[in-house]
Structure 1
């Protein structure tokens, strides 16, 4: 963080979308949340955290973990995967089976960090340089966002503040396509309503910042909806093979380094540096509206 010039970070772990409804899944989730909590407690002026949840089909386990994370651990929000399950059996987060979870998050006015799942498409690896995290993960983020919009979940639970990872993937470019064609396919929302709902998401900049992509986002959402992110210290956790959930976490390796993050951060500074106030809001000011608990720490770092 110091090398990247970051004063405060919100920690998160990928949602535990592998496995199934089980006591092991609940236990590993609690273990991960306690680990992040301990870091935030040890360094309260440097860290907050997004709690992760058990496999989302475990409705009771999820609701219990939400209660524990907010009421006991004082989490700053929740991290969710775009879908849960494998292959054709994966279920996106906007599915009605998850309504009880969204209702609880809405009641709590929760912040949700939505990250694309590492789900392979029909052509998951067109080239060794285009592995799943590069091409598929951001597309999964877009698909989950679109799913929340066209199912009406985004407007049914308006108090949940959802942050889309990686500028929302292709969301700024494909939202108009969803707006018109989904309505044509029978979505009861009008195109203008669909676009408006897409604009209520927050978009973070990790591994996606370039003048053209930021310019597209600027044209699509209000400046207050853009948040700075880096994915550092990003780690890859294997999701396949005959390993327990704990084994997979022990096999993790660094997927994002400081040099990579600096390239994108420099682009953010260059793009928004023409207007100092907007750069300040993107680098931290906008986030403080979502996480007022961190405001004193942020001021003390300045």
Structure 2
């Protein structure tokens, strides 16, 4: 069975600071994975082979290009060029999502077009809020319009919450406790779920009906809550073209990243169906082997397993 992992991370010097790769660079959890983030060659491929992963779809780790100043937009292009170069040196093993300087929306749209049409990248990964704003802000319409016209997805990935949120929700804890609660343990999932739901209720997906969005971490808790979400939000959003839950059939895909046990997958399958679920590891933050083991041993229909492993992502990214 072919296995393609869609949310796998790397770093490039143009988009990370001197202290380490991204916002969590100083945290102990990063110590063991910094080298892996930098590796776009033989070491990464050896780990893929050992786990049985055929292709990784690579994206820059947080904070990515969203942390750039508008005048630094060219640095995203440098990271995208490096990614395209790595893909060209390992044909058939890597694909990639572009990093975009979303705080400069017109430049970001231009970079997305360049990344797709000239570099062969398959979409873009957008990390968290941009200058404190979600993507439903009208300023970001050029990026959404470009993605729809290019027929490539936008992957909504979390990032560190804004400082007022950090202060209100996570003060009084140790640095390690606050850092993890604000990110991988909880905060990332609730923020990204909110980001997606805002795009739905604001009408963005009605304005761009062919736009495809991807969220990771087994749907950022949405599958478990979707019935209640739909019951509460659909009656008060009569301007929408369809019930809130139906956008998960037409515009939204979820990935398995970081969730290596069966119950969350079972929930996602029951709520969304196999056609909307894509395999991911979240490498190197999550080890490859447990995720591949879940994919290969979960008690699910074999046709669904093939869709999750490679069929859905091949269709979405036109691989």
TM-score by length of 1: 0.78
Corresponding residue to 1:283 among 309, 312, 317: 309
Q: Once the 2 structures are TM-superposed, how far is the Cα of residue 225 of structure 1 from its aligned partner? A: 0.9
With a CA cutoff of 8 Å and minimum separation of 6, indicate the structure with the bigger relative contact order. Answer: 2
- Tell me whether 1:196 sits opposite 2:243 in the alignment: no
Is the contact between residue 93 and residue 148 of structure 1 (CA under 8 Å) also seen in structure 2? yes
Instruction: Let me know the Cα RMSD of the aligned residues.
Output: 2.2
Is the contact between residue 204 and residue 229 of structure 1 (CA under 8 Å) also seen in structure 2? yes
Is the contact between residue 210 and residue 268 of structure 1 (CA under 8 Å) also seen in structure 2? no
Corresponding residue to 2:271 among 197, 209, 220: 220
1:9-48 paired onto structure 2 within 5 Å: 9-13=56-60, 14=62, 15-22=64-71, 24=72, 26-48=73-95
CA distance in 2, matches of 1:278, 1:35: 35
Which structure 2 residue ranges, 5 or more long, are not aligned? Answer: 1-47
2:110 aligned residue:
64
* Secondary structure at the counterpart of residue 83 of structure 1: coil
2:157 aligned residue:
115
1:78 aligned residue:
124
1:175 aligned residue:
226
CA distance in 2, matches of 1:103, 1:138: 26
Q: How many equivalent residue pairs?
A: 260
Is the contact between residue 203 and residue 240 of structure 2 (CA under 8 Å) also seen in structure 1? no
TM-score by length of 2: 0.75
Deviations, residues 208-258 of structure 1 (Å, cap 9, x unaligned): 24222111111211311110001113xxxxxxxxxxxxxxxxxxxxxx253
CA distance in 1, matches of 2:113, 2:311: 28
CA distance in 1, matches of 2:242, 2:149: 27
1:122-133 paired onto structure 2 within 5 Å: 122-124=168-170, 128=176, 130-133=180-183
Which structure 1 residue ranges, 5 or more long, are not aligned? Answer: 234-255, 295-302
Corresponding residue to 1:105 among 147, 159, 168: 147
* Secondary structure at the counterpart of residue 11 of structure 1: strand
Is the contact between residue 226 and residue 286 of structure 1 (CA under 8 Å) also seen in structure 2? yes
